[in-house]
């Protein structure tokens, strides 16, 4: 879909960018707190699902969720109808009650939205699991979130069953099947649940509309350590929706009778960026969300063309693919007006190559966020050309840069980025210590990232304080891999760090101390880990050492290992 009112839109973008350059109001206050250049926006006091449905009548017959492979489609009216039926079934057939947790372990598909919105309609909290996780990873997440019901696809059912056994959970599993697929034994048919025309949806009237109830429970490693369940209440998620629609930052137009944005959703819905920014926020705008279960070259390029994508949300590997692949032509990207890229830095040459393949008025916007801030904190405004930065604070958001003593720093000084705003999480589930470490007493969230902010409020991410490893944009927690390696009978001690890799950005490298009198080779250790974690978490290299550097309290000094060996 081409952008309408080309002249007006470009004048508006130019005026906003010019206002930033002229710096009409100082975004820095006397305490070195930085504000957004955009005025605060109104924050609706609605649940996530009510926010999405508030304009339903405007686009009821437009496509909402579309499978990019089969073209299976739910209109907005159907999405509303089926999610309410699903919600009523959760209440009446499965006795789901307010604040119970439903768990989704699926690859991207149109039914993901029905399961998510249906759970929220029932007053439940939604947690999501990576569909390529192993039994051990799923078990850990099930224990953290304690779901009362699980929604999966045939490919994930056996993993879910085994994980439930290990977690000592005896809960129903609902399976979403495709045409011709056999329903796995011992599971319940999703399609039978939503096809019941006689379900009594009046039971939904009793559901509590409290916006401070937990809506989503995604998992994040925070700044360090093993994954933690992040509590995002309805209020914070809806606030982030409204912030994304602030003046100068709104790149997705609301649907009208004659126009509708088309988005390709290949970035996973199990992650808050996929579920929050790509799926739920864009459904609130009346957009068409086209799902792909995974990246595959031909289906990805075909979906962009056939669905006439107007907005593409990318991670760096996807952007690099579009920029460099010979089969991606200028005409394939002719309908795209905005690229959104996050998760990790992208080389400038790839950005320019992609822009060369695109129409002249296209926007390429870098964003920055974390699961704990629902998830966006900064976005490059429309028309912004400083591709080395992640833009400016969203409306209603404050930023600070602090040193190791928590003293606020000034323009262009490098320190830890702190974030304050209505999008900050409630906390980590059942983990008050981690919550206290992440959020200061006066409400500032510690990002764990080194950054600087210039005089005009433009944010540059410099490095990561946190020790998470970024593999193709995915977060890998060293502590998780260390825990797996320590299960090996020959391993005495271990530390894992990220080392640079030309293909993936970083790869995990393990430094292993072997028990006295034992012997093991690196390939055996790699195989041991490979059987227990998802592919992107696998160890890329092993180095055997006599001991590991530690501070007086016993904490491993991964920084020393990186400086010495990486």
Residue 11: the pLDDT is 55
Does residue 557 lie in a domain region?
yes
Residue 489 belongs to a domain with what CATH number?
A: 3.30.300.30
Does residue 97 lie in a domain region?
no
Residue 14: the pLDDT is 54
Residue with tokens 């490098």: 414
Does residue 174 lie in a domain region?
no
Confidence check: pLDDT of 562 > 90: no
Q: Give the C-alpha separation, 123 to 118, whole Å.
A: 9
Does residue 556 lie in a domain region?
yes
Give the CB-side neighbour count of residue 437, counting CA atoms within 13 A: 13
Percentage of the chain beyond pLDDT 90 is 80
Q: Give the C-alpha separation, 21 to 9, whole Å.
A: 19
Q: Give the C-alpha separation, 489 to 529, whole Å.
A: 13
Residue 4: the pLDDT is 40
**453 forms bridges with which residues in the sheet?**
459
Question: Following DSSP, what letter does each residue of 408-443 receive, concatenated?
Answer: BP-TT--EEEEEESTTS-SEETT-HHHHHHHB-TTS
Please compute the mean of the pLDDT values over residues 292-303 and round it to a whole number: 96
Residue 42: the pLDDT is 97
Confidence check: pLDDT of 498 > 50: yes
* Residue-level length of the chain: 566
Please compute the mean of the pLDDT values over residues 366-394 and round it to a whole number: 95
Please compute the mean of the pLDDT values over residues 167-171 and round it to a whole number: 97
Does residue 398 lie in a domain region?
no
Quote the pTM value: 0.86
Whether 544 contacts 514, CB under 8 Å: yes
| Tens digits of residue pLDDT in 39-87 | 999 999 999 999 999 999 999 999 999 999 999 999 999 999 999 999 9
Does residue 542 lie in a domain region?
yes
Confidence check: pLDDT of 307 > 90: yes
More confident residue, 15 or 89: 89
Residue 16: the pLDDT is 61
Please compute the mean of the pLDDT values over residues 10-15 and round it to a whole number: 57
| Tens digits of residue pLDDT in 180-215 | 899 999 999 999 999 999 999 999 999 999 999 999
| Tens digits of residue pLDDT in 119-146 | 999 999 999 999 999 999 999 999 999 9
Residue 15: the pLDDT is 59
| Number of separate domains in the chain | 1
Residue 483: the pLDDT is 85
Three-class secondary structure of residue 359 per DSSP: coil
Confidence check: pLDDT of 224 > 80: no
Q: Give the C-alpha separation, 15 to 31, whole Å.
A: 29
Please compute the mean of the pLDDT values over residues 141-166 and round it to a whole number: 97
**What letter would DSSP give residue 101?**
E
Question: Following DSSP, what letter does each residue of 251-280 receive, concatenated?
Answer: -SPPP-SS---EEEE-S-TTSHIIIIIIII
Confidence check: pLDDT of 275 > 70: yes
219: CB partners within 8 A, 6+ apart: 127, 141, 144, 145, 227, 228, 229, 230, 371
Residue 342: the pLDDT is 81
Please compute the mean of the pLDDT values over residues 75-102 and round it to a whole number: 97
Confidence bin at 33 (pLDDT 50/70/90): very high
355: CB partners within 8 A, 6+ apart: 362, 364
Token reading at 259? 């126009």
Q: Give the C-alpha separation, 295 to 522, whole Å.
A: 31
Residue 100: the pLDDT is 98
Token reading at 481? 């891999």
> What is the extent of the structural domain holding 553?
469-565
469: CB partners within 8 A, 6+ apart: 475, 476, 477, 478, 496, 497, 498, 506, 507, 508
Confidence bin at 172 (pLDDT 50/70/90): very high
CA-based angle 100:103:109, to the nearest 5?
A: 135
Residue 553: the pLDDT is 46
Residue 417: the pLDDT is 97
Write the CA distances from 211 to 72, 200, 205, 395, integer angstroms: 33, 24, 16, 20
Does residue 1 lie in a domain region?
no
Least confident of 40-49, 308-317, 402-411, 459-468: 459-468
Confidence bin at 260 (pLDDT 50/70/90): very high
More confident residue, 223 or 242: 242
Alpha helices in 325-422 (DSSP H): 348-356
The answer, yes or no, to whether the previous bond of 375 is cis (omega within 30 of 0) is yes
Mean pLDDT across the chain: 92
How far is C-alpha 450 from the geometric centre of its chain's CA atoms? Answer: 20
- Torsion of Cα atoms, 186 then 188 then 96 then 126, to 10°: 100
Residue 54: the pLDDT is 97
Q: Give the C-alpha separation, 164 to 155, whole Å.
A: 16
Token reading at 322? 């579009």
| Tens digits of residue pLDDT in 499-549 | 999 888 899 999 999 998 999 999 999 999 999 999 999 999 999 999 998
Residue 226: the pLDDT is 72
| Tens digits of residue pLDDT in 400-457 | 999 989 999 999 999 999 999 999 999 999 999 999 999 999 999 999 888 999 999 9
Residue 19: the pLDDT is 60
Confidence bin at 2 (pLDDT 50/70/90): very low
Does residue 351 lie in a domain region?
no
Percentage of the chain beyond pLDDT 70 is 93
Confidence check: pLDDT of 13 > 70: no
Three-class secondary structure of residue 89 per DSSP: helix
Residue 1: the pLDDT is 37
Alpha helices in 73-134 (DSSP H): 76-92, 111-121
């Amino acid at each position: 879909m081409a952008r309408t009112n080309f002249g007006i839109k470009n004048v508006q973008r130019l005026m906003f960018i010019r206002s930033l350059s002229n710096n009409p109001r100082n975004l820095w206050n006397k305490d070195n707190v930085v504000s957004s250049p955009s005025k605060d926006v109104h924050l609706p006091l609605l649940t996530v699902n009510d926010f999405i449905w508030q304009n339903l009548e405007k686009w009821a017959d437009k496509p909402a969720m579309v499978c990019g492979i089969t073209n299976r489609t739910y209109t907005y009216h159907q999405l509303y109808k089926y999610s309410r039926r699903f919600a009523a079934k959760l209440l009446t057939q499965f006795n789901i009650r307010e604040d119970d947790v439903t768990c989704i372990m699926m690859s991207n598909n149109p039914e993901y939205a029905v399961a998510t919105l249906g759970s929220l309609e029932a007053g439940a909290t939604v947690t999501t699991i990576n569909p390529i996780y192993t039994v051990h990873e799923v078990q850990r997440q099930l224990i953290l979130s304690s779901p009362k019901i699980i929604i999966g696809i045939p490919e994930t059912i056996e993993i879910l069953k085994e994980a439930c056994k290990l977690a000592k959970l005896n809960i129903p599993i609902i399976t979403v099947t495709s045409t011709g697929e056999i329903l796995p034994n011992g599971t319940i048919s999703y399609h039978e649940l939503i096809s019941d025309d006689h379900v009594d949806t009046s039971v939904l009237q009793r559901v509590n509309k409290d916006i401070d109830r937990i809506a989503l429970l995604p998992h994040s490693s925070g700044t360090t350590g093993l994954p933690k369940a992040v509590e995002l209440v309805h209020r914070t998620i809806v606030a982030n929706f409204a912030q994304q629609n602030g003046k100068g930052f709104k790149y997705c137009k609301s649907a009208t009778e004659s126009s509708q944005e088309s988005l390709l959703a290949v970035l996973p819905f199990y992650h808050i960026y996929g579920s929050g920014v790509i799926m739920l926020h864009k459904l609130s705008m009346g957009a068409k969300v086209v799902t792909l279960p995974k990246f595959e070259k031909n289906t990805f390029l075909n979906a962009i063309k056939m669905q006439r994508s107007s907005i593409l949300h990318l991670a760096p590997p996807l952007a690099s693919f579009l920029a460099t692949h010979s089969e991606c032509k200028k005409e394939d990207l002719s309908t795209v007006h905005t690229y959104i890229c996050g998760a990790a830095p992208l080389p400038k040459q790839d950005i320019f190559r992609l822009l060369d393949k695109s129409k002249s008025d296209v926007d390429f916007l870098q964003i920055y966020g974390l699961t704990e801030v629902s998830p966006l904190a900064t976005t490059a405004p429309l028309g912004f050309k400083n591709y080395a930065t992640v833009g400016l604070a969203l409306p209603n958001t404050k930023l600070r840069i602090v040193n190791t003593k928590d003293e606020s720093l000034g323009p262009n000084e490098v320190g830890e980025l702190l974030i304050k705003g209505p999008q900050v999480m409630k906390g980590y589930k059942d983990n008050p210590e981690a919550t206290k470490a992440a959020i200061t007493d006066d409400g500032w969230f510690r990002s764990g990232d080194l950054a600087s902010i210039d005089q005009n409020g433009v944010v540059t991410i410099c490095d990561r304080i946190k020790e998470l490893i970024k593999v193709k944009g995915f977060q890998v927690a060293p502590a998780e891999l260390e825990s797996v390696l320590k299960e090996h009978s020959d391993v005495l001690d271990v530390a894992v760090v990220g080392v640079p890799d030309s293909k993936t950005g970083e790869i995990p490298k393990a430094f292993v101390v072997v028990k006295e009198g034992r012997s093991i080779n690196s390939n055996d250790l790699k195989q041991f880990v490979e059987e227990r974690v998802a592919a992107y978490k696998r160890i890329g290299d092993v180095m055997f050492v006599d001991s590991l550097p530690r501070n007086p309290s016993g904490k491993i000094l991964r920084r020393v290992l990186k400086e010495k060996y990486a």
